Structure 1
Amino acid sequence: MEKLVQKKKPGGLFDTLKTVFWAIVIALLVRTFAYEPFNIPSGSMIPTLLVGDYLFVSKYSYGYSKHSLPFSLPLIPGRILSSEPKRGDVIVFKLPADPSQDYIKRVIGLPGDTVQVKQGRLYINNEMVQRERIEDYILTDGTGQAIAVPQYLETLPGGKVHRILEIFGDQGPADNTDPFTVPEGHYFMMGDNRDNSADSRAFPARFRFVPFENLVGRAEFLFYSKDSSQPIYDLGSIRFDRLFKGVN
């Protein structure tokens, strides 16, 4: 006689909960040890990063500290499996003054460097950093008006080339600073939108330099970008030309 094959009954609620549990565990592991998503809420890194960009940050680039863990759980002493950042890397870090806040800036000064801005020009170890004027960047202000902003290609020691903006030319509020010497185990950060960035030039003196332990990871690539001033259902405001673009 032909046997009847009995259909396996669905596992029901228990199997569903088990699947959800393992999905959460895997997501947490990926977020902790591989890649974590972040979005850009301010214009301090224009033109490299725009408000409304969403990007992945590699958590393994510089090793792991307590700030690699959810809620900065103090389970990792110092930093393990560490690798030093390179000058010019774009990095997410915990604000020294308030570790609950994530900031994203570019590494300008390495441990032992002296960094200064004089008349709008960046100096590292008393050498003026090379920059080249290129086409103006068209920036939309708070009223929706388009304005042309001076844009430069800046070449950091070591050869990293990236774009910066100087909204006020070389007469911005942070275009003349004291010389800052970066302590060991710390980094000096600046935004690419030089006249519109709260960074190591503006932080209070005791929080000016970012400790190695506070680095969360290196910005790698965008996975989504949308003009955040437009309604969420407005598909025309998605910046398709920025999708899956690497962060320079």
Structure 2
Amino acid sequence: MDYIITYSIYVLIISVLMGLTTWKLFKKMGYNPLFSFIPFYNYLIILKETNHPKWWSVLSYLPIVGPIMMSAFHIFLMRKFGKRGFVNGLLTVLLPFIFMATVNYGKDPEIETEEEEEEGKKKETFLGSVTFAVVFATIIHAFITQPFGIPTGSMERTLLVGDFLFVNKWAYGYRMPMRPVALPFLQGTIFDTGQKGNPKDDPKSYVDAVKLPYLRLPGYDEIKRYDIVVFNYPQDSVHTAIDRRDPYVKRCVGIPGDVLEFRAGRLFVNNQPEKILGDEEQQHGYIVTTSAQLDIPQLYKAYGFLPVQETQSNSGFIYIFQGLTDAIAKDIKALPEVTEIKEMVEKKGEGALRFKLNADKTAYTKNIDTTQSIYPINKPWNQDWYGPLRVPKKGDVVKLDQESLPTYQWIISEYEHNKLENKNGKIYINGQETNQYTIKQNYYMMIGDNRDASLDARFFGVVPEENIVGRPMFTWMSLQGAFKDANSSYQAPFKVRWDRMFKATNTGETNKTSYWWIAAGILILFFGWDYFAKLFKKKEDE
């Protein structure tokens, strides 16, 4: 209801501005000036008078798409009154209600003659085609499916670095856009100002001041244990808009109410070993000591993704493999150059550790990593010995004290938007002292398949339902070498992985369904729509 009320207020404000700045123009076109104030109908009149499809008016107030369509409709109206050309178009887009007001209240605005209109149309046919293409793609991107690239190896080898996916936004329920005024196809920022700059200073791709509350429409499925899920990073400090935070993809290993625990790097769910699906290839980090240099390019050809740090020591070479499956680790152990292979498993009760080469380059030593805080921060857990942790479920009544508060403080204050205070050993929520809290939404535990190279829920905590984007459908493009790995001494050569393209990504099965027909359907729909729209318009003109 909050979403509908806020949305209605925005529509009312825009409609009033539209009416105040165009009523005289509507009168000139032969309509009651009050029609300029009526949502949808005012744009339908503009489309009718400028010979454009009238059904486009239904797109005028949609989030993200609406501002694009409105700009196009405003340009159509300005052209009707002779305001053509690049400068006039730019002013109409950037200062719509100011520029239209200058025309509306200017000295006796005149409608173009038929000869002037025909001459202007000939020059702007290409621009109209580009606008149509942008709008069509924006509708697909914002309301149906969103493309998503895999830049890191946290889901190797299930999803490869360089895989580009289409994400189904409707499976778990479509989340309505929360920042309706935004540039299409961009996530959070327009561009990165650089490593030295503050990410908060990067130009945003959306207007943060125009915002709508969270609303999710009913879906036809629910998140199941072991689904691969795309979600917005929950602890993003740069973007306050939930739907504009960085998208992550992980496996949902814990649904609401589950109890999770890692024992020596192996996951147990509800005290049972996790289920390994047919297409899932888990990996763990290994330190490999050799007497001679390994042929990494040859290993890469044989096994694919093998990010590795190589260092020469006094007695040979030391390799840190970011992630190896059990089978690949066994093969590498059998190589004649290998003198020792050891899985990187942190000790129980220690904080998160990382490995660093010592001064004489003879071995790697363990160092406490203070940059990777384990969730919750007051537990002596690490990524290999973690839990048990119960995933919060909507309706859970949780006990609050100084021991349990770190587990729930981010949930209460950030995800469920309460004022949380911890003063003099007492806990206050919205000004009221309390020792319990009722969870308002479901939460999920998202973990990467590449267990020792994944920034996941063990570090940033449980993921709220409102951050869920959708479920990957299929890989539409796969490029080896598309992203450089700063943690690897070897960079794979660039190539197109044709065998992965248009294959399903979230089935759990080894043999993937092909979705070439969807690609063909989208192309036919796009070009066919444009062709038949022009054909229909030609018949109408005749």
- Same fold, TM exceeding 0.5? yes
Match of 2:471 in 1: 218
Larger Rg: 2
Q: How far off its partner does 1:177 sit?
A: 0.4
Residue of structure 2 aligned with 1:191, choices 448, 452, 457: 448
Q: How far off its partner does 1:169 sit?
A: 4.0
Residue of structure 1 aligned with 2:263, choices 115, 118, 122: 118
Distance (Å, rounded) in 2 between the aligned partners of 1:106 and 1:138 = 21
1:101 aligns with 2:276: no
| Counterpart AA for 1:140 | L
Match of 1:32 in 2: 142
* Pair 31,43 (structure 1): closer, same or farther in 2 beyond 3 Å: same
1:171 aligns with 2:345: yes
**1:12 alignment partner, SS class:** helix
Specify every segment of 5 or more residues in structure 2 that has no aligned partner in the other structure, as ranges. 1-117, 183-205, 237-241, 284-302, 311-318, 328-340, 347-351, 353-382, 394-441, 485-492, 507-542
Residue of structure 2 aligned with 1:85, choices 210, 219, 223: 223
* Pair 51,33 (structure 1): closer, same or farther in 2 beyond 3 Å: same
Distance (Å, rounded) in 1 between the aligned partners of 2:345 and 2:448 = 16
Relative to its length, the structure with more strand (as a share) is: 1
Distance (Å, rounded) in 2 between the aligned partners of 1:168 and 1:105 = 26
**2:229 alignment partner, SS class:** strand
Preserved contact between residue 116 and residue 178 of structure 1 (Cα < 8 Å): yes
**2:387 alignment partner, SS class:** coil
Match of 2:130 in 1: 20
Query: Aligned residue pairs: how many?
Result: 220
**1:213 alignment partner, SS class:** helix
* Pair 48,41 (structure 1): closer, same or farther in 2 beyond 3 Å: same
* Pair 186,74 (structure 1): closer, same or farther in 2 beyond 3 Å: farther
Distance (Å, rounded) in 1 between the aligned partners of 2:227 and 2:251 = 6
Q: How far off its partner does 1:34 sit?
A: 1.3
Preserved contact between residue 38 and residue 55 of structure 1 (Cα < 8 Å): yes
Preserved contact between residue 230 and residue 472 of structure 2 (Cα < 8 Å): yes
Match of 2:212 in 1: 75
Preserved contact between residue 308 and residue 320 of structure 2 (Cα < 8 Å): no
**1:42 alignment partner, SS class:** coil
Distance (Å, rounded) in 2 between the aligned partners of 1:237 and 1:146 = 25
| Counterpart AA for 2:214 | P
Specify every segment of 5 or more residues in structure 1 that has no aligned partner in the other structure, as ranges. 1-7, 153-166
Q: How far off its partner does 1:135 sit?
A: 11
Cα deviations across residues 70-92 of structure 1 (Å, max 9, x unaligned)?
65974353312234212222111
Match of 1:162 in 2: none
Match of 2:497 in 1: 239
Q: How far off its partner does 1:13 sit?
A: 3.2
Q: How far off its partner does 1:16 sit?
A: 2.5
Cα deviations across residues 106-162 of structure 1 (Å, max 9, x unaligned)?
111111111111122211112222559x9995542246999682348xxxxxxxxxx
Relative to its length, the structure with more helix (as a share) is: 2
| Counterpart AA for 2:235 | A
| Counterpart AA for 2:224 | K
Q: How far off its partner does 1:50 sit?
A: 1.2
Distance (Å, rounded) in 2 between the aligned partners of 1:241 and 1:209 = 34
Cα deviations across residues 199-242 of structure 1 (Å, max 9, x unaligned)?
01122xxxx111111111111111111112699xxx96111111
Moved more, 72-81 or 183-192: 72-81
Q: What is the aligned-residue RMSD (CA, Å)?
A: 3.5
Preserved contact between residue 156 and residue 305 of structure 2 (Cα < 8 Å): no
TM-score, normalised to structure 2's length?
Answer: 0.36
1:141 aligns with 2:350: no
Distance (Å, rounded) in 2 between the aligned partners of 1:59 and 1:191 = 21
| Counterpart AA for 1:96 | P
Moved more, 85-94 or 170-179: 170-179
Moved more, 183-192 or 78-87: 78-87
